[in-house]
């Protein structure tokens, strides 16, 4: 998911930093006296450290001078995977999924949309929601900020929603994000298609 979203200055890296801070927040709420606190506190520290490194990288990434590339995106994706597994163990799988919704919603819906329309899901394209914004004339920073807001919303939900309600929060945020995705696709997407953009 990180690699798919790394086409707009600051979007993937800024969102990744926020998601990792959210994961750290969830991991830090683990009571160390529990029978299995496991690696949660150490992984929380790693998530914060990685987030700070990514925020430092934004000094070059946001103005479009340097990109994470495959190595950076895959490295962050691997950290997401590890953090997601541990968050799922110490909290719920729903909490872990909430953290990564800003990428999951767009990636999953875009792939399904392309498959439904008979387009290859294995070739490069410009159909992600952020790409539609850029193709319509939006600047990179407002697009990145839009994703950062959704990332903070999801991170705060993951950190604060009780485990027993995490499934409902996940589905609520998924429906909200999906509705925005479809609204954009049916308005801006159709306009761009009609204009040949």
Q: Does 70 carry a binding-site annotation? A: yes
Place of tokens 């872990």: 96
Separation of alpha carbons 77 and 31, rounded Å: 27
What was the pLDDT predicted at 65? Answer: 92
Q: Does 160 carry a binding-site annotation? A: no
Q: What is the CA radius of gyration of the chain?
A: 17
Q: Is the dihedral of CA 100, 139, 128, 169 positive or negative?
A: positive
What is the H or E stretch that residue 79 is in?
helix 69-90
Of 64, 67, 185, which is closest to residue 136 (Cα–Cα)?
A: 185
Separation of alpha carbons 163 and 51, rounded Å: 24
Domain parsing of the chain, residue ranges: 11-194
What was the pLDDT predicted at 32? Answer: 64
What was the pLDDT predicted at 41? Answer: 81
Length of the chain: 197
pLDDT in tens, the chain (197 residues): 677 787 889 999 999 999 999 999 999 887 666 665 566 788 899 999 999 999 999 999 999 999 998 899 999 999 999 999 999 988 999 999 999 999 999 999 999 999 999 999 999 899 999 999 999 999 999 999 999 999 999 999 999 999 999 999 999 999 999 999 999 999 999 999 899 87
């Amino acid at each position: 998911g990180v690699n798919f979203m790394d086409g707009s200055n600051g979007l993937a890296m800024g969102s990744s930093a926020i998601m990792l801070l959210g994961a750290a927040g969830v991991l830090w709420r683990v009571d160390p006296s529990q029978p299995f606190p496991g690696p949660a506190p150490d992984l929380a520290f790693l998530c914060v450290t990685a987030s700070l490194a990514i925020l430092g990288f934004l000094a070059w990434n946001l103005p479009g001078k340097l990109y994470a590339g495959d190595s950076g995106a895959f490295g962050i994706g691997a950290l997401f995977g590890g953090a997601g597994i541990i968050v799922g163990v110490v909290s719920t799988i729903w909490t872990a999924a909430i953290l990564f919704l800003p990428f999951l919603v767009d990636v999953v819906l875009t792939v399904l949309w392309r498959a439904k329309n008979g387009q290859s899901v294995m070739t490069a394209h410009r159909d992600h929601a952020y790409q539609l914004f850029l193709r319509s004339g939006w600047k990179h920073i407002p697009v990145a900020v839009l994703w950062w807001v959704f990332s903070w919303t999801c991170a705060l939900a993951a950190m604060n929603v009780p485990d027993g309600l995490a499934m409902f929060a996940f589905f609520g945020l998924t429906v909200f994000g999906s509705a925005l995705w479809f609204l954009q696709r049916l308005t801006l997407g159709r306009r761009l298609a009609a204009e040949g953009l």
